[in-house]
Structure 1
Amino acid sequence: MNDFYPEISPFNDFLLAVDGQHQLYVEQCGNPKGQPVLFIHGGPGGGCSTNDRRFFDPKQYHIILFDQRGCGRSLPHGCLDHNETHFLVDDIEKIRQQLNIKQWHVFGGSWGSTLSLVYAQTHPLSVRSLVLRGIFLGRDVDTHWTFSGGGATRIFPDYWQEYVDALPEGSAQATTTAAYAMLVGEDKALAQKVATAWSIWEIRCCTLIPDQAFVDAATGDEHAWTLARHEAHYMVNDCFLTDNQILANCDTIKNIPTVIVHGRYDIVCPADNAWLLHKHLPNSTLVISEASGHASVEPNTKHHLIAATQAMLSL
């Protein structure tokens, strides 16, 4: 079974000013003369980790990672101003142009799959191939499923109750709109409490087998602050997408080689997201990762993702 490539360090990193306010952290790893591949992280608000570099053969790939606006090592930290999907798409193009890359592979999971798809549909000539994991289509039904008492809460009712118990008014505030109001409100202690509870709820749902170390690594105060606030910000604004935008625009990327990897038991982003995307991209390859949930680090999913990046090298 495929496993991560060895740990590597960037050969270059920098802050890229994309407007008068935001600076993006960008790093380059692997072989500067290799095939360029862009890793797009999830969330929104998740930021990149050191393991995200390890899906790609460092001898064959020029690996580019960046933290999206307001999260990770990008500045200003936690900023939601001018933080919308179309700005993020523009940011990706600015990174490509800054690095003088004509065309690159794009790899994204969860929200990263959403942003990868919107980017590819906006700039199809810039994308050589797509590897997508844990598909999130950004529709109302998708956000309701996880954060407004939808289906996920019926599968993990005990986890959901712990989230609800962290809200001052309990179930009356168990909606994205109510949570967002608290997350961006003046009471910073309450905002942090809600952000932490939000993040723990989501991350606990990510793996098929409970993994406390995985939860702990992703729910510290600073990480939870950007993850919850960014996610709620995007969700209450319909992810800054038009209704069913991604599926409606699949024709623009029908000729881009695409591999879709999705966990059979993904509770954060149910597998019908991947199935629908595959149906709209009939030339894509859909790989259902058995015995897997949502997380990219689960063994079967990791195996399939690395197999996909190995296959990309022949394109």
Structure 2
Amino acid sequence: MDKVAASRTAGQFLYPALDPYDQRMLNVGDGHRIYVEQCGNPEGVPVIVLHGGPGGGCSPAMRRYFDPAHYRVILFDQRGCGRSRPHASVEANTTWHLVRDIEQIRETLGIENWLVFGGSWGATLGLVYAQSHPDRVVHLILRGVFLMTKAELDWFYGGGAGSFWPDVWARFAEMVPADERGDLIGAYHRRLFSGDLMQETRFARSWANWENTLASISNDGPAGESPAEYARAFARLENHYFVNGGFLEEDGAILKRAGVLAEVPGTIVQGRYDMICPPVSAWKLHEAWPASRFAIVPRAGHALSEPGISAQLVRTTNALRHNLSPLGEGRGARA
């Protein structure tokens, strides 16, 4: 299957495109209104999709990882990004605000418990949510695990990943003076929040380009420039969270609290050649979480759009159809 997956596009493994049957703006307080949509079967197994970034926003392709006849798929744009407003705002925007928003969505939609599906930062948020509300999660599906640790940030913004991509890294690092390159997250923070829109946009595009270039194993050069509005929200929000250590109580907090997930089954899908979130974090999580299943995808990087990643994720959601009731009752078996 892996050789077959590698020779096909991600879209060939997904369900056909579909439109939402419900779209709304939900007032979550603090001046924020978030975009929420539902698609698939209104009576099906509820699944909440958590996008990456922070600041990435949802895309129509994210609806297609689930059998629409079986799943009630809920997507939302997290605070400050996508169709949520105010755009690119970091005010009242922390991990704990987002956990509270997820609970408000669940309560507003009248859902008792649900499947949680997230990749990259979405995996981080999914883990924090599940550790905060384990009784609400019937199964976690995580892709490209990111545990929001200093070691992971140092890898990606301190030269580790740059040793594999020295030309792209040089363009990213040389945006700031040499004496500031010892802390690129901080150096970019000062410019992303300078109040000068042109400077913020220029550095936002550089920030987004560095990450987007390394996202897929198929990339072999700099990614194209992101649209200004998207890049500014993505970079400002991501940088805001990273400067603040994800607003977690201590470094390594997610792994230290893995025991809370003892009764929550999960599936971890990880690309072998993930340059953004190296597989060691996913493996450490799996070792600390006995209720998890670990699926490594050969010849795959970080992106959701990797063919092998998409194939494994759809395989997982299809397998869970046999273990989860339409009412979301009980715990799901391992896929």
Question: Which whole-Å CA distance do the structure 2 matches of 1:290 and 1:61 have between them?
Answer: 28
Does structure 1 conserve the Cα–Cα contact (< 8 Å) formed by 2:30 and 2:92? no
Shift of 1:210: 1.1
Which one-letter code corresponds to 1:206 in the other structure? A
Question: Which whole-Å CA distance do the structure 2 matches of 1:240 and 1:44 have between them?
Answer: 12
2:156 maps to 146
Which one-letter code corresponds to 2:311 in the other structure? H
| Matched ranges for 1:1-315 at <5 A | 3-147=13-157, 149-165=158-174, 167-169=175-177, 172-173=180-181, 175-210=184-219, 215-216=223-224, 219-241=226-248, 242-315=250-323
What do the CA deviations read for 1:105-149 (whole angstroms, capped 9, x no partner)?
A: 0000000000000000000011010100000000111111112x2
Distance 1:47 1:280, change over 3 A: same
Shift of 1:252: 1.0
2:9 maps to none
Question: Which whole-Å CA distance do the structure 1 matches of 2:273 and 2:62 have between them?
Answer: 22
What do the CA deviations read for 1:177-224 (whole angstroms, capped 9, x no partner)?
A: 110111011222111100001101101000111178x944x8221111
Question: Which whole-Å CA distance do the structure 2 matches of 1:150 and 1:175 have between them?
Answer: 10
Question: Which whole-Å CA distance do the structure 1 matches of 2:220 and 2:20 have between them?
Answer: 28
Structure 1 residues not aligned, in runs of 5+: none
Moved beyond 2 Å, runs of 4+: 168-174
Question: Which whole-Å CA distance do the structure 1 matches of 2:277 and 2:30 have between them?
Answer: 35
Describe the SS at the equivalent of 1:153.
Answer: helix
Describe the SS at the equivalent of 1:175.
Answer: helix
Which one-letter code corresponds to 1:243 in the other structure? D
Aligned length: 311
Which one-letter code corresponds to 1:69 in the other structure? R
Shift of 1:45: 0.3
Question: Which whole-Å CA distance do the structure 2 matches of 1:228 and 1:270 have between them?
Answer: 21
Shift of 1:163: 1.5
Question: Which whole-Å CA distance do the structure 2 matches of 1:220 and 1:169 have between them?
Answer: 25
The alignment-based identity, stated in percent, is 43
TM-score relative to the length of structure 1: 0.95
Structure 2 residues not aligned, in runs of 5+: 6-11, 324-335
What do the CA deviations read for 1:208-246 (whole angstroms, capped 9, x no partner)?
A: 11178x944x82211111111111101110110122111
Question: Which whole-Å CA distance do the structure 2 matches of 1:56 and 1:42 have between them?
Answer: 18
Does structure 2 conserve the Cα–Cα contact (< 8 Å) formed by 1:164 and 1:171? no
Describe the SS at the equivalent of 2:31.
Answer: coil
